[in-house]
Amino acid sequence: MNVTIRQLQVFEMVARHLSFTRAAEELFLTQPAVSMQIKQFEDIAGLALFERLGRKIYLTQAGEEMYRLSRDITSKLSEAEAIFNEIKGPDGGRLLVSVASTVQYFAIRLLAGFCKEHPNVNVNLNVTNQKGLIQLLENNETDIVLMGEPPEGMSLVSEPLLDNPLVVIAHPDHHLKDKKGISLDELKNEVFLMREQGSGTRTSAESFFAKNGMKISANMEMNNNGAIKLSVEEGLGLGIVSQHTIDIEVKTGRLIILDVQFFPLVRKWYMVRREGKRLSAVGTAFEDFVRKEKFRFVRLP
Protein backbone atom coordinates (compact mmCIF):
# COMPACT_ATOMS: atom_id res chain seq x y z
CA MET A 1 0.00 0.00 0.00
CA ASN A 2 1.63 3.21 -1.22
CA VAL A 3 0.55 5.45 1.69
CA THR A 4 2.60 8.43 2.84
CA ILE A 5 3.55 8.94 6.47
CA ARG A 6 1.63 12.23 6.41
CA GLN A 7 -1.55 10.47 5.27
CA LEU A 8 -1.07 7.94 8.04
CA GLN A 9 -0.67 10.71 10.63
CA VAL A 10 -3.78 12.53 9.39
CA PHE A 11 -5.82 9.31 9.38
CA GLU A 12 -4.75 8.43 12.93
CA MET A 13 -5.65 11.89 14.23
CA VAL A 14 -9.12 11.82 12.61
CA ALA A 15 -9.69 8.27 13.87
CA ARG A 16 -8.68 9.21 17.40
CA HIS A 17 -11.01 12.18 17.64
CA LEU A 18 -13.64 11.02 15.13
CA SER A 19 -13.60 14.61 14.00
CA PHE A 20 -12.08 16.26 10.92
CA THR A 21 -12.23 19.63 12.67
CA ARG A 22 -10.26 18.59 15.76
CA ALA A 23 -7.73 16.72 13.65
CA ALA A 24 -7.20 19.83 11.53
CA GLU A 25 -6.69 21.98 14.65
CA GLU A 26 -4.10 19.63 16.16
CA LEU A 27 -2.22 19.21 12.87
CA PHE A 28 -2.39 22.95 12.01
CA LEU A 29 -4.12 22.15 8.72
CA THR A 30 -7.33 23.34 7.13
CA GLN A 31 -10.31 21.00 7.28
CA PRO A 32 -10.39 20.64 3.44
CA ALA A 33 -6.71 19.60 3.53
CA VAL A 34 -7.52 16.90 6.09
CA SER A 35 -10.50 15.71 4.04
CA MET A 36 -8.35 15.50 0.91
CA GLN A 37 -5.68 13.42 2.69
CA ILE A 38 -8.35 11.00 3.93
CA LYS A 39 -9.92 10.74 0.46
CA GLN A 40 -6.52 9.95 -1.08
CA PHE A 41 -5.92 7.35 1.63
CA GLU A 42 -9.30 5.72 0.94
CA ASP A 43 -8.61 5.74 -2.82
CA ILE A 44 -5.31 3.94 -2.24
CA ALA A 45 -6.94 1.43 0.13
CA GLY A 46 -9.91 0.91 -2.17
CA LEU A 47 -12.18 0.93 0.87
CA ALA A 48 -14.07 3.49 2.91
CA LEU A 49 -12.35 4.09 6.25
CA PHE A 50 -15.05 6.36 7.72
CA GLU A 51 -18.79 6.57 7.43
CA ARG A 52 -20.97 9.57 8.24
CA LEU A 53 -24.24 9.11 10.12
CA GLY A 54 -26.03 12.37 10.67
CA ARG A 55 -23.46 14.90 11.89
CA LYS A 56 -21.07 12.30 13.32
CA ILE A 57 -18.42 10.13 11.70
CA TYR A 58 -17.53 6.57 12.63
CA LEU A 59 -14.80 4.12 11.67
CA THR A 60 -15.78 1.36 9.27
CA GLN A 61 -14.49 -2.16 9.85
CA ALA A 62 -11.58 -1.39 7.51
CA GLY A 63 -11.00 1.88 9.38
CA GLU A 64 -10.86 0.12 12.74
CA GLU A 65 -8.26 -2.33 11.43
CA MET A 66 -6.25 0.48 9.88
CA TYR A 67 -6.40 2.50 13.11
CA ARG A 68 -5.02 -0.44 15.09
CA LEU A 69 -2.17 -0.91 12.59
CA SER A 70 -1.43 2.80 12.24
CA ARG A 71 -0.82 3.16 15.96
CA ASP A 72 1.78 0.40 15.79
CA ILE A 73 3.43 2.03 12.78
CA THR A 74 3.63 5.51 14.32
CA SER A 75 4.91 4.00 17.56
CA LYS A 76 7.75 2.32 15.65
CA LEU A 77 8.51 5.56 13.84
CA SER A 78 8.69 7.37 17.18
CA GLU A 79 11.01 4.69 18.49
CA ALA A 80 13.25 5.12 15.44
CA GLU A 81 13.29 8.89 16.00
CA ALA A 82 14.25 8.37 19.67
CA ILE A 83 17.13 6.09 18.64
CA PHE A 84 18.40 8.63 16.12
CA ASN A 85 18.14 11.41 18.70
CA GLU A 86 20.06 9.28 21.17
CA ILE A 87 22.80 8.82 18.59
CA LYS A 88 22.89 12.60 18.06
CA GLY A 89 23.53 13.12 21.76
CA PRO A 90 22.20 15.70 24.24
CA ASP A 91 23.14 18.68 22.08
CA GLY A 92 20.75 17.84 19.26
CA GLY A 93 17.46 16.15 18.53
CA ARG A 94 13.93 16.87 19.69
CA LEU A 95 12.41 17.08 23.16
CA LEU A 96 8.64 16.70 23.69
CA VAL A 97 7.58 18.24 27.01
CA SER A 98 3.94 18.47 28.11
CA VAL A 99 2.89 20.42 31.19
CA ALA A 100 -0.21 21.25 33.18
CA SER A 101 -1.34 24.82 32.56
CA THR A 102 -0.47 25.76 36.15
CA VAL A 103 3.11 24.59 35.51
CA GLN A 104 3.65 26.53 32.29
CA TYR A 105 5.20 29.66 33.86
CA PHE A 106 7.77 27.59 35.75
CA ALA A 107 8.26 25.23 32.79
CA ILE A 108 9.03 28.05 30.34
CA ARG A 109 11.73 29.43 32.63
CA LEU A 110 13.07 25.90 33.12
CA LEU A 111 13.19 25.22 29.37
CA ALA A 112 14.85 28.58 28.72
CA GLY A 113 17.61 27.61 31.13
CA PHE A 114 17.96 24.18 29.55
CA CYS A 115 18.11 25.60 26.00
CA LYS A 116 20.92 27.97 26.99
CA GLU A 117 22.99 24.90 27.82
CA HIS A 118 21.72 22.93 24.80
CA PRO A 119 21.05 25.55 22.10
CA ASN A 120 20.61 23.05 19.24
CA VAL A 121 17.76 21.10 20.86
CA ASN A 122 14.36 21.41 19.19
CA VAL A 123 11.81 21.75 22.02
CA ASN A 124 8.09 21.13 21.57
CA LEU A 125 6.06 22.38 24.58
CA ASN A 126 2.44 21.29 24.95
CA VAL A 127 0.30 23.02 27.63
CA THR A 128 -2.99 21.39 28.58
CA ASN A 129 -5.03 20.30 31.60
CA GLN A 130 -4.73 17.11 33.65
CA LYS A 131 -7.14 15.21 31.40
CA GLY A 132 -5.18 16.18 28.29
CA LEU A 133 -1.88 15.15 29.85
CA ILE A 134 -3.24 11.71 30.71
CA GLN A 135 -4.34 11.27 27.09
CA LEU A 136 -0.90 12.28 25.83
CA LEU A 137 0.71 9.72 28.14
CA GLU A 138 -1.74 7.01 27.10
CA ASN A 139 -1.03 7.68 23.43
CA ASN A 140 2.74 7.89 23.98
CA GLU A 141 2.77 11.35 22.38
CA THR A 142 5.17 13.03 24.77
CA ASP A 143 8.56 12.38 26.36
CA ILE A 144 8.23 14.04 29.76
CA VAL A 145 5.23 15.48 31.61
CA LEU A 146 5.20 18.00 34.46
CA MET A 147 1.85 17.74 36.22
CA GLY A 148 -0.08 17.33 39.45
CA GLU A 149 -0.51 13.96 41.10
CA PRO A 150 -0.42 11.31 38.36
CA PRO A 151 -3.35 8.91 38.08
CA GLU A 152 -3.27 5.43 39.53
CA GLY A 153 -3.65 2.41 37.31
CA MET A 154 -1.33 3.62 34.55
CA SER A 155 2.18 2.28 33.98
CA LEU A 156 4.04 5.48 34.81
CA VAL A 157 7.35 6.48 36.34
CA SER A 158 6.97 9.61 38.47
CA GLU A 159 8.99 11.57 40.99
CA PRO A 160 8.01 14.59 43.12
CA LEU A 161 9.08 17.86 41.57
CA LEU A 162 7.94 20.81 43.73
CA ASP A 163 5.28 21.81 46.22
CA ASN A 164 2.34 23.49 44.50
CA PRO A 165 0.50 25.76 46.96
CA LEU A 166 -3.02 26.72 45.89
CA VAL A 167 -4.20 30.10 47.17
CA VAL A 168 -7.36 32.20 47.03
CA ILE A 169 -6.84 35.39 45.02
CA ALA A 170 -8.96 38.54 44.95
CA HIS A 171 -9.14 42.08 43.61
CA PRO A 172 -7.06 44.45 45.81
CA ASP A 173 -10.27 46.25 46.91
CA HIS A 174 -12.14 43.09 47.91
CA HIS A 175 -14.11 43.49 51.14
CA LEU A 176 -12.12 40.66 52.80
CA LYS A 177 -8.71 42.09 51.90
CA ASP A 178 -7.73 43.01 55.48
CA LYS A 179 -9.42 40.09 57.24
CA LYS A 180 -7.12 37.56 58.94
CA GLY A 181 -8.01 33.89 59.20
CA ILE A 182 -11.06 34.08 56.92
CA SER A 183 -13.33 31.12 57.67
CA LEU A 184 -14.78 28.92 54.97
CA ASP A 185 -18.28 30.02 56.03
CA GLU A 186 -17.40 33.57 55.00
CA LEU A 187 -16.75 32.33 51.46
CA LYS A 188 -20.11 30.62 50.99
CA ASN A 189 -21.69 33.59 49.26
CA GLU A 190 -18.64 34.51 47.20
CA VAL A 191 -18.50 33.89 43.45
CA PHE A 192 -15.58 31.74 42.37
CA LEU A 193 -14.03 31.75 38.91
CA MET A 194 -13.03 28.15 38.29
CA ARG A 195 -11.03 26.16 35.81
CA GLU A 196 -12.81 23.75 33.47
CA GLN A 197 -13.73 20.17 34.38
CA GLY A 198 -10.63 17.99 34.04
CA SER A 199 -8.31 20.60 35.54
CA GLY A 200 -6.18 19.38 38.45
CA THR A 201 -6.61 22.69 40.28
CA ARG A 202 -10.40 22.50 40.07
CA THR A 203 -10.44 18.86 41.16
CA SER A 204 -8.28 19.65 44.20
CA ALA A 205 -10.37 22.69 45.18
CA GLU A 206 -13.71 20.93 44.83
CA SER A 207 -12.44 17.91 46.76
CA PHE A 208 -11.24 20.15 49.60
CA PHE A 209 -14.51 22.08 49.88
CA ALA A 210 -16.61 18.90 49.64
CA LYS A 211 -14.66 17.36 52.54
CA ASN A 212 -15.49 20.45 54.55
CA GLY A 213 -19.19 20.25 53.70
CA MET A 214 -19.19 23.22 51.38
CA LYS A 215 -20.08 23.66 47.73
CA ILE A 216 -18.66 26.79 46.17
CA SER A 217 -20.53 28.82 43.57
CA ALA A 218 -18.63 28.53 40.27
CA ASN A 219 -20.55 30.99 38.09
CA MET A 220 -17.83 31.15 35.43
CA GLU A 221 -15.57 28.45 33.99
CA MET A 222 -12.33 29.25 32.17
CA ASN A 223 -9.84 26.99 30.47
CA ASN A 224 -6.65 28.77 31.52
CA ASN A 225 -5.17 30.56 34.51
CA GLY A 226 -4.52 33.76 32.58
CA ALA A 227 -8.23 34.27 32.03
CA ILE A 228 -8.97 33.61 35.70
CA LYS A 229 -6.35 36.13 36.83
CA LEU A 230 -7.64 38.81 34.46
CA SER A 231 -11.23 38.22 35.57
CA VAL A 232 -10.28 38.47 39.24
CA GLU A 233 -8.44 41.72 38.45
CA GLU A 234 -11.70 43.02 37.00
CA GLY A 235 -13.53 42.17 40.22
CA LEU A 236 -15.70 39.40 38.78
CA GLY A 237 -15.05 37.05 41.71
CA LEU A 238 -12.43 35.05 43.58
CA GLY A 239 -10.03 32.55 42.06
CA ILE A 240 -8.09 29.54 43.29
CA VAL A 241 -4.76 29.29 41.53
CA SER A 242 -1.24 28.01 42.02
CA GLN A 243 0.91 30.48 43.92
CA HIS A 244 3.60 29.88 41.29
CA THR A 245 1.45 31.65 38.67
CA ILE A 246 0.83 35.04 40.32
CA ASP A 247 4.29 36.40 41.14
CA ILE A 248 4.08 39.43 38.83
CA GLU A 249 0.43 40.26 39.57
CA VAL A 250 1.02 40.32 43.34
CA LYS A 251 4.24 42.33 43.03
CA THR A 252 2.49 44.95 40.90
CA GLY A 253 -0.54 45.12 43.21
CA ARG A 254 -3.04 43.84 40.65
CA LEU A 255 -4.00 40.85 42.79
CA ILE A 256 -3.92 39.94 46.46
CA ILE A 257 -3.86 36.62 48.28
CA LEU A 258 -6.64 36.28 50.85
CA ASP A 259 -5.76 34.87 54.27
CA VAL A 260 -8.20 31.95 54.24
CA GLN A 261 -8.16 29.18 56.85
CA PHE A 262 -6.54 25.94 55.65
CA PHE A 263 -4.97 27.75 52.70
CA PRO A 264 -2.65 27.41 50.94
CA LEU A 265 -3.69 23.91 49.93
CA VAL A 266 -0.32 22.34 49.35
CA ARG A 267 -0.27 19.86 46.49
CA LYS A 268 2.72 18.58 44.56
CA TRP A 269 3.95 18.72 41.01
CA TYR A 270 5.53 15.59 39.56
CA MET A 271 7.86 14.77 36.69
CA VAL A 272 6.24 11.86 34.84
CA ARG A 273 6.90 9.58 31.86
CA ARG A 274 5.61 6.27 30.57
CA GLU A 275 7.14 3.20 32.17
CA GLY A 276 9.48 1.61 29.63
CA LYS A 277 9.68 4.85 27.64
CA ARG A 278 13.00 4.98 25.82
CA LEU A 279 14.20 8.52 26.43
CA SER A 280 16.66 10.06 24.02
CA ALA A 281 19.92 11.54 25.29
CA VAL A 282 18.17 14.92 25.20
CA GLY A 283 15.30 13.62 27.34
CA THR A 284 17.70 12.14 29.89
CA ALA A 285 19.70 15.37 29.98
CA PHE A 286 16.49 17.35 30.58
CA GLU A 287 15.44 15.07 33.46
CA ASP A 288 18.87 15.55 35.07
CA PHE A 289 18.68 19.31 34.53
CA VAL A 290 15.26 19.48 36.21
CA ARG A 291 16.46 17.52 39.25
CA LYS A 292 19.55 19.70 39.74
CA GLU A 293 18.33 23.15 38.74
CA LYS A 294 14.57 23.31 39.44
CA PHE A 295 14.79 25.55 42.53
CA ARG A 296 16.61 28.20 40.49
CA PHE A 297 13.47 28.85 38.50
CA VAL A 298 10.90 29.06 41.33
CA ARG A 299 9.30 32.47 41.87
CA LEU A 300 6.73 32.76 44.62
CA PRO A 301 5.13 36.04 45.75
Task: Kindly report, residue by residue over 137-191, the tens digit of the pLDDT.
Answer: 988 889 999 998 888 888 899 999 999 999 999 999 999 999 999 998 898 888 8
Phi-psi region of 57 (alpha: psi -120 to 50; beta: other; left: phi over 0): beta
The CATH architecture that domain 165-265 belongs to is 3-Layer(aba) Sandwich (3.40)
DSSP secondary structure letters along 97-166: EEEEGGGHHHHHHHHHHHHHHSTT-EEEEEEE-HHHHHHHHHTT--SEEEESSPPTTS-EEEEEEEEEEE
pTM of the model: 0.67
**pLDDT, tens digit (0-9, with 9 covering 90-100), for 21-59:** 989 988 888 999 999 999 999 999 899 999 988 888 999
**pLDDT, tens digit (0-9, with 9 covering 90-100), for 190-245:** 888 888 877 778 888 888 888 888 877 667 788 778 889 999 999 999 999 999 98
Contact criterion met (CB below 8 Å) for 147 and 267: no
92 DSSP assignment: S
Quote the pLDDT of residue 36: 93
Average per-residue pLDDT for the chain: 89
Where do the structural domains in the chain lie, given as residue ranges? 5-78, 85-162+268-297, 165-265
CATH 2.60.40.10 fits 85-162+268-297, yes or no: no
Domain topology for 5-78: Arc Repressor Mutant, subunit A (1.10.10)
What number of other Cβ atoms are within 10 A of residue 250's Cβ?
17
